[in-house]
Amino acid sequence: MAMRDTRAGRSTVRTIEDSPVARVLFGDVRLAWIWLILRLYVGYEWLQAGWGKLHSAVWTGSQAGTALAGFVKGALSKTGGANPAVQTWYAGFLQHLVLPNVVAWSYLVSWGETLVGIGLILGIFTGIAAFFGSFMNVSYLLAGTVSTNPILFVIATWLVLAWKTAGWWGVDRWLLPTLGTPWSPGYIFHNGGGRQHVAGQPSKA
């Protein structure tokens, strides 16, 4: 986190360092096994849900969109009362954007859940996969469906925070140093292809 100090007419950007606990928990590969367990659990939940939809006629088959349309209509029925389970603005999104294009959304949900599951299980772009997983969790919660969504959302949020080490026991161990990040490109983008240090690469100490 950066703060700007303008005292005495000077403009200085100061960086607030992470706490030692946060540095160890989210940046030390010695604790990567913790994120591996959580990653596999969340990934399995998403893959199981998405894989079932990809092989379901009412999601991606001859009757694609049927199941999602029923889900949306159920959510719209929860908009009444003093404290509705589904807020009016989200109901408008479901009614005017999702329902008219329910087949496309049905495929998007099915493939989205599956790809998030694969990404988390294999540890490929773990932080990005966890982010989109948490985004879907929030979408389901806004539609009035609780189930395991709060639990998965919390774990996914932790995985996003631990993006540097969450995929250490996975493909990210080699993928992240190779590709790098938008703010610090990996070694394949440097002239000569020599391996360079990537800012934010997790500590082995």
Range of the domain at 81: 29-167
pLDDT digits (tens, 9 = 90+) for 75-126: 999 998 888 999 999 999 999 999 999 999 999 999 999 999 999 999 999 9
Are 180 and 186 a contacting pair, CB within 8 Å? yes
Residues 155, 181: one domain?
Answer: no
Q: Is the pLDDT of residue 191 over 80?
A: no
Q: How far is CA 48 from CA 17, 40, 127, 146, 170, in A?
A: 39, 12, 20, 18, 20
Q: Is the pLDDT of residue 188 over 50?
A: yes
Average pLDDT over residues 169-193: 84
Residues 108, 144: one domain?
Answer: yes
Are 203 and 20 a contacting pair, CB within 8 Å? no
Q: Kindly state whether residue 102 falls inside one of the protein's structural domains.
A: yes
Residues 140, 177: one domain?
Answer: no
Amino acid at 129: A
Residues 35, 127: one domain?
Answer: yes
Residues 34, 66: one domain?
Answer: yes
Q: Which two tokens stand for residue 120?
A: 């988390």
Residues 81, 114: one domain?
Answer: yes
Q: Which two tokens stand for residue 20?
A: 């030692």
Neighbours of 102 (CB within 10 A): 18
Q: Which two tokens stand for residue 46?
A: 């998403």
Q: Is the pLDDT of residue 31 over 90?
A: yes
Q: Kindly state whether residue 136 falls inside one of the protein's structural domains.
A: yes
Average per-residue pLDDT for the chain: 89
Residues 132, 181: one domain?
Answer: no
Q: Is the pLDDT of residue 36 over 60?
A: yes
Q: Kindly state whether residue 156 falls inside one of the protein's structural domains.
A: yes
Q: Kindly state whether residue 15 falls inside one of the protein's structural domains.
A: no
Predicted confidence band at 200 (pLDDT cuts at 50, 70, 90)? very low
Q: Kindly state whether residue 179 falls inside one of the protein's structural domains.
A: yes
